Structure 1
Amino acid sequence: MLVDTHAHLLPYDYPDDAPECFPRMEPVDGETARTLLFGAMRFKAKDVFFDAERRLEAQHASGVDAEVITPMPPLLRYDLRPAEGMSLARHVNEFTATMCAHHPSRMLGLGMVPLQDPEAAAGELTAIKDMGLLGVEIASNIAGESIGDERFQPFFAEAERLGTAVFVHAMPTATERLPAAAMGTYVVGLEGAMAAASMVVGGTAGKCPDLRLAFSHAAGGYPLMLPRAQYFWGGSWNEEPVDLERAVAPDDGPSPLEHARRFYYDSLVFDHRAVRYLLDLIGPDRLLIGSDFPAMPREDPAGRTVLSMGLDEDTLQRITWDNAFDWLGIEAPG
């Protein structure tokens, strides 16, 4: 069995009386695709983004048994006024729940919330759960603010209390230090690293130890930061026993690696050597298969890099499906 934990959807349309700030989906002449218009964005969306039957056909074609489906990241517009953000989130969530209801065992939906209003976002988690959605997708920053900022801690505490899975999708932000062409490559890697690190150094990871949090693209450069963070925390090289005389900034909490090993990471890192590093450092019980489909084409078959690495059957089973159900907090099929 293989579960793709990083896949996206777009609603087919939006209400006629929606606010002007809402996206629009316009038909494409002679095609089943539709064009997403959202601010400056113009994106031609194939019907697999919003058609449940086409979705199932695509799963079958690539060897996927189930997908965790989340909103396309551009829909996570935290610059909208809170009421508008809530209205947009509810429309997207209703569409997601309806689409997933076509085949609940094959399409596992996550919703979205207006995190520009953390209190309202926390309050919406119960409604999301009542709709049959298994969690929420959030961006790696909230209109430029770190997700590890203390003002978002009540949201994460409520997600922990409700057992709600959270998927953090790297969201590029403008930076003057790299050209715009790097937004979807290097900046995504930086964003993932910053998001994961902020959850630790901001204190949220420590205050919410049972929060089930997953990061897209293996949290970018975060795993490579960990050995240095471990040295600063405990003075160890190669995860030797702690040597506080060498430690730069010791504390008595969990180590950086202990925090990191509570998170989940999708394996969409494009190279078996990077996957091997994650296995060695993080361990096999926190890795997930991800593809970014249909925004990006899947490997053929899905998860080909992981499947071709000669991993033992227990490790493969964990990565390809067991870990996904552990993260989502639901029982795996027998």
Structure 2
Amino acid sequence: MIDMHSHFFPAITRGEAHAFDAEQAPWLAVDPGSPAGQIMVGDRPFRPVYQALWDPDFRVAELDRQGVAVQIVCATPVMFGYAWEAEKAADWSARMNDRAIHFCAAHPQRLKALAQVPLQDLKLACAEASRAKAAGCVGVQIGNHLGDKDLDHEQLVDFLIHCAEQSIPVLVHPWDMMGGNRMKKWMLPWLVAMAAETQLGMLSLILSGAMERIPESLKICFAHGGGSFAFLLGRADNAWKHRDIVRKDCPRPPSEYARRFHVDSAVFDPGALRLLADVMGVDRVMLGSDYPFPLGEQEPGALVRSCQFLDCEQKGRILQGNAKAFFRLDREPAAAEKTFPALPYN
């Protein structure tokens, strides 16, 4: 299996973070000898985490048990640095990308890195995406918005065009979720707003007409199964047909753009995966676990393997083939550190 959606967080010390920005730079608090840790922002606890997030050897041992041959790793979104001045964010992004490459270098056939970029500055973001690609990253991860700028903003569209022209795959991940104090409990920002943020990003690209400007060669994937997009696509099509303000900038129904996008498989329900495969196409769905967080798929690939409406060939495409093509892993040396038993697809 190839798991194309997982996160890492490097062992940034408090001193290193505070020297960079004492209020906003994230760092990792770990008790010596303990597998548990805490991501901190300034001196505020942000999220409890465990060793797989920062220790590549520990991670690969878990991947062995899970039967995952290759995993794509990307920044935990708190690392983005979008609130900083652009030059500072560019410095931070380069540091984090070098950390990501170093993290993967411990097991180069098993771990592949996505870069982060200073999205607040188009020139700097394009330069870092290209530098990171040359340094070994297999793509780039961006947040689904930049303050009040959604993905249809000219600056962000131009960044996506650069990625298309430079053959840099893009993973869009929701962050800084809408809702504020209205969703304070029960992880509702992650359960409600995260899905809405993803749908907002996808529809903003479609209804703004941005997808008419962006080359069809762009490989772009939206995390968490595309959020609410597949389930509510019929609503968007209906609005496009009956309201001129919806179709003003969009020459075709939204559903005609759906297969310009890829999504991961992190939907946790067979019915949801069936809908996702029907709407997006089986060739546009890739295994993504959101490892190593507790809201991710705890047994990567179990949902896909359990779905009887998928035949063996379709399961194989979702579990590895689609990601191999999306990230051009066919051009990478084959994973040779570990021989895995064939997992049953049925």
Report the TM-score, using the length of structure 1 for normalisation: 0.89
2:275 equivalent in structure 1: 277
Q: 1:291 is matched with which residue?
A: 289
Alignment of 1:205-284 (within 5 A): 205-208=211-214, 209-233=216-240, 249=247, 253-284=251-282
Partner SS for 1:205: helix
The Cα of 1:299 is off from its aligned counterpart by 4.1
Note the C-alpha offset of 1:177: 8.2
Deviations 1:64-84 (A, max 9, x none): 111110001111231112122
Please say which of residues 7-16 and 92-101 is displaced more in the overlay.
Answer: 7-16
**8 Å Cα contact 1:63-1:301 kept in structure 2:** no
- What's the offset of the Cα at 1:156? 0.8
- Residue identity in the other structure for 1:144: D
Structure with the largest fraction of helix: 2
Distance 1:151 1:281 in 2: 29
1:213 Cα deviation from its structure 2 partner? 0.5
Correspondences of 1:71-220 after superposition (within 5 Å): 71-175=75-179, 178-181=182-185, 182-208=188-214, 209-220=216-227
Count of residue pairs brought into register by the alignment? 324
Q: Which amino acid aligns with 1:320?
A: L
Q: Calculate the aligned-residue CA RMSD, in Å.
A: 2.5
Amino acid at match of 2:152: G
Show the counterpart of 2:306.
308
Superposed, 1:312-331 pairs within 5 Å as: 312-331=311-330
* Alpha-carbon contact 2:290-2:297 (below 8 Å) kept: no
Give yes or no for the alignment of 1:42 onto 2:80: no
Q: Where does residue 242 of structure 1 map in the other structure?
A: none
Q: How many Å separate the matches in 2 of 1:220 and 1:108?
A: 24
Q: Aligned equivalents of 2:289 and 2:5: distance in 1?
A: 6
The structure-2 alpha-carbon separation of the partners of 1:253 and 1:194, relative to structure 1 and needing over 3 Å to count, comes to same
Q: Is the 8 A contact 2:202 2:229 kept in 1?
A: yes
- TM-score normalised by the chain length of structure 2: 0.86
How far did residue 180 of structure 1 move?
2.2
Query: What is the deviation of 1:112?
Result: 0.2
Matches of 1:25 and 1:176 in 2, distance apart?
25
Alpha-carbon offset, residue 251 of structure 1: 7.9
Counterpart CA distance in 2 for 1:128 and 1:101 is: 14
1:18 has 2:20 as partner: yes
Report the secondary structure of 1:110's partner residue.
strand
Give the distance between the partners of 2:173 and 2:228, measured in 1 at CA. 14
CA contact under 8 A between 1:172 and 1:187: conserved in structure 2?
Answer: no
Deviations 1:246-288 (A, max 9, x none): 9x84888454223111111111111110001111222100001
For the pair 1:27 / 2:25, whether they are aligned, the reply is no
In the alignment, is residue 7 of structure 1 matched against residue 6 of structure 2? yes
Return the alpha-carbon distance in structure 2 between the equivalents of residues 109 and 117 of structure 1: 22
Letter in 2 for 1:74: V
Change (3 A) 1:192 1:284: same
CA–CA distance in 2 between the matches of 1:50 and 1:4? 17
Shift of 1:133: 0.1
